[in-house]
Amino acid sequence: MKLIFEKSVSGRQGLKLPVSDVPVQGVLPGKYLRSSDAQLPESSELDVVRHFTQLSQRNFSVDANFYPLGSCTMKYNPKFTEKVAALSGFAELHPLLPQLRGGEKYAQGALEVLFEAERWLCEITGMKAFTMQPLAGAHGELTGIMLVAAYHKAKGNKKKYIIVPDSSHGTNPASAAIAGYEIISVPSDKKGVMDLEKLKSVLTDEVAGLMMTCPDTHGVFNSQITEISRLIHSVDGIMYYDGANLNATMGRCRPGDVGFDVVHLNLHKTFATPHGGGGPGAGPVGVGEKLLKFLPVSRVVKGPQGIFALNYDYPDSIGYIASFYGAFGVILKAYAYMLLLGQDGLKQTSDHAVLNANYILSRLKGAYQLSFDRVCMHECLFSASKQVARGVHAIDIAKFLIDKKMHPPTVYFPLTVKEAIMIEPTETESKESLDAFVEAMLEADALSQKDPEAFHALPKTMPISRPDETRAAREVKVNCFG
């Protein structure tokens, strides 16, 4: 497929403006204007529409394909939430309006959304309050660790370490390191959860806290979580909850009830707002009582007459961590999603997510090596070790699935499992979709026994089959148009 620049024809136009019938008034000083025309493609409207439509048809998306990326919760996004976010009363508000004198009265609806969404998230997680500002999960992580650091600084604690299980998300140690902490990694035991005895052996008064994904990236819930919380709290450490996998326990287990002090959530995962392609995302951070006063400003408060306002009077706050009030459109979609499902619907979401994952587990565990032979939560984790013995790797199976018009599961993560294949179907997929995926995985296994060499030519249906990823990393092309 040619680039739009390669399809350009000199003099061709998609739009012709009428001759101006009013005096031309320069808006910018001449020194800020271009001295020559921008080198843009010259195309008709039809050329442009066809080009980008064809590009979109080459994408994998939840709207068009089964998308079982493990640990990512790529669930379908209901379209009604898009309509809610596009309502003019929300979409056309200027972000500075609530900060102008008297401007808050014109943004009461938007402020109420922020306030009520926070209340919902508090109820779901067992936290006291949330900041809605963080713009992604990793941004939420950094905010959470900054709150942990503020807590210890205020108490005069000399803390040096953050403990991270080896089954955690990779951003956990990165966020802690950016905040100035050293990382202690604790290995998993044979059941797939953090080894409790190993945790005890590294626990000292210098530990600032523990970051956990619960359930973890093995798809396993740690039944010892309350004891782990007790141990961390015994050295005045903070329990940090990575909410990436909340879709497995939403409505069934509140992080605050099992000892977590701070939590970040991924609204673009658990609450069905768009996910992928670099955004938009939202990673609100909730805290328990001990971290409450350190939350970022501003915070939405509700006055005695039911009037919503922005409050900046928090002297111990860590300050702003994002412009304005967070990704408001994303928060709005998540709030609409929560209102649609309600308490019972959110519980059913978790139930069906776990059911779907275990259905895949039960059907594939004969063909693929099950990493931890136990009931899983929202995702099931296999190894392609059986197929590797025949010369077929996890990446080969991923390429095979592309030709079946299915997005591959996550492969080679977590690093604790060799040739990992991590599958998360989410609750939105039907049994028919799950069966089609299972049959494709079984077909891949059968082909690995019959003709393992066939995988090396896959995928056959895509413009690029096997890109040289090593060369691409070493020979970066900054300007593709010369």
Any residues with CB less than 8 A from the CB of 225 and at least 6 apart, and which? 212, 214, 258, 259
Contact between 194 and 228 (Cβ < 8 Å): yes
Domain boundary among 340, 356, 384: 340
Residues 323 and 448 in one domain: no
- Determine the Cα–Cα distance for residues 463 and 245; give it in Å rounded to an integer: 34
| 33 occurs within a structural domain | no
Looking at residue 15, what is its pLDDT? 84
Residues 148 and 223 in one domain: yes
CATH number of the structural domain spanning residue 267: 3.40.640.10
| 74 occurs within a structural domain | no
Residues 279 and 395 in one domain: no
Could you report the per-residue pLDDT of 262-275, keeping only the tens digit for each? 999 999 999 988 77
Could you report the per-residue pLDDT of 219-229, keeping only the tens digit for each? 999 999 999 99
Contact between 396 and 453 (Cβ < 8 Å): no
| 150 occurs within a structural domain | yes
Domain boundary among 340, 368, 387: 340
Residues 101 and 185 in one domain: yes
| 137 occurs within a structural domain | yes
Residues 240 and 296 in one domain: yes
- Determine the Cα–Cα distance for residues 456 and 466; give it in Å rounded to an integer: 9
| 376 occurs within a structural domain | yes
Question: Positive or negative CA dihedral for 223, 226, 230, 236?
Answer: positive
Domain boundary among 340, 355, 372: 340
Looking at residue 47, what is its pLDDT? 94
Residues 319 and 405 in one domain: no
CATH number of the structural domain spanning residue 370: 3.90.1150.10
Contact between 209 and 240 (Cβ < 8 Å): yes
Residues 154 and 250 in one domain: yes
- Determine the Cα–Cα distance for residues 355 and 427; give it in Å rounded to an integer: 8
Looking at residue 278, what is its pLDDT? 56
Could you report the per-residue pLDDT of 417-440, keeping only the tens digit for each? 999 999 999 999 999 999 999 999
> Could you check whether the bond before residue 95 is cis, i.e. omega within 30 degrees of 0?
no
Looking at residue 482, what is its pLDDT? 42
Token pair for 432: 């028919």
Can you name the residues that pair with 301 across neighbouring β-strands? 309
Residues 243 and 335 in one domain: yes
- Determine the Cα–Cα distance for residues 277 and 478; give it in Å rounded to an integer: 19
Residues 234 and 368 in one domain: no
Looking at residue 273, what is its pLDDT? 81
Looking at residue 479, what is its pLDDT? 55
| 246 occurs within a structural domain | yes
Looking at residue 480, what is its pLDDT? 47
| 65 occurs within a structural domain | no
Looking at residue 323, what is its pLDDT? 83
In three-state secondary structure terms, 210 is: strand
Which residue in 271, 264, 275 sits closest to 335, CA to CA?
271
| 5 occurs within a structural domain | no
In three-state secondary structure terms, 134 is: coil
Looking at residue 279, what is its pLDDT? 62
Residues in the chain, pLDDT under 50: 480-482
Supply the range of the domain harboring residue 406. Answer: 342-464
Contact between 128 and 281 (Cβ < 8 Å): no
Number of domains in the chain: 2
Looking at residue 282, what is its pLDDT? 92
Residues 387 and 367 in one domain: yes
Residues 203 and 99 in one domain: yes
Which residue in 313, 280, 287, 282 sits closest to 298, CA to CA?
313
Residues 240 and 274 in one domain: yes
